[in-house]
Amino acid sequence: MIRQALSSTAWLPILVIALAVNLALYGAMTKLSHRREGGLQKQYEKPILLTLPEKKPLPEKKKRKPLKKKALKVKKMQTLTLKRPKTPPPPSFEFSKPSGGMAVVPVFTTEITQQLPSFEAPRTLFDLSELDQKPRLLYRVNPIYPYTAKRRNMSGELMLQFIVDNEGNVKQIEVIKAQPQGIFDESAISAVQKWRFKPGYIQGEAVSTRVVVPINFKI
C-alpha cells in the first residue's frame, strides 16, 4: 500500500508540468493565429486601384467629294445619201419609109436561139447488164422453213428484188412474186438481210446494183 501511494504521488508533478506545457503551447498557437488573421485582414483592407487607359479621340473621317458625272457626248452619225445612177434613155429607132409608102414595124422576140448544155445528175443505181463486174455473194444465211408450211407439207417459190450498195450490204428488199402469198415472205426477207456481197464495179469504181433473186422452198 505504501508503495502504491508513493507511486501515485510521484506522477503528480509530471502531470502538472505536462499541463503547464500544453497551456503554454496553446497560448502561443492562439497568438500566432491572431497575428496571421490580422495580417491577412490588413492585406485585404488595402484598396485595389484599377487604372483604365485613356480613350483617344477617333480621327475624323474625311468627307469624300462627290464625283462629278461627266456628260457623254454622242457623236452624230453621218448620213450618207446615195444617188441613184441616171438610167440612160431607151434607144430610139428610126426607120426610113420605103419608096412605096409602107411603114416597117420592128418585131422583138424573147426566144433563145442558142441551146444551153444540159447537165444530168450522176447515177447512183445500175442494173446488172450495165456493170463491168457483177456482185458476188460472199456470205449467205439460208431461210428457215416456216412451221405452218412444214406441218402442211407445203412448198413455195419467191422472187425477191433488192439493192446491193457499194459496200456490199443488202437494202430495200421487196417481194415481187410469191406462191403461195404470205407464207414464206418473212422467212426469206429475214435471211436475205444478212447476206453480204462483193459490190459490182463500173470502170473500177464500186456502185450500187439492183439484183433479183429467186428462192424456192421444198420439203
The tens-digit pLDDT sequence of the chain (219 residues) is 545 544 556 667 777 788 888 887 877 777 776 666 555 555 545 555 555 556 666 766 666 766 666 666 666 666 656 666 666 555 444 444 444 444 333 333 344 445 555 556 678 899 999 999 999 999 999 999 999 999 999 999 999 999 999 999 999 999 999 999 999 999 999 999 999 999 999 999 999 999 999 999 998
In 47-184, beta strands by DSSP E: 125-126, 136-139, 156-164, 170-179
Residue of 137, 126, 140 lying closest to 201 (CA atoms): 126
The one-letter amino acid at 69: K
Q: How far is the C-alpha of 137 from the C-alpha of 214, rounded, in Å? A: 14
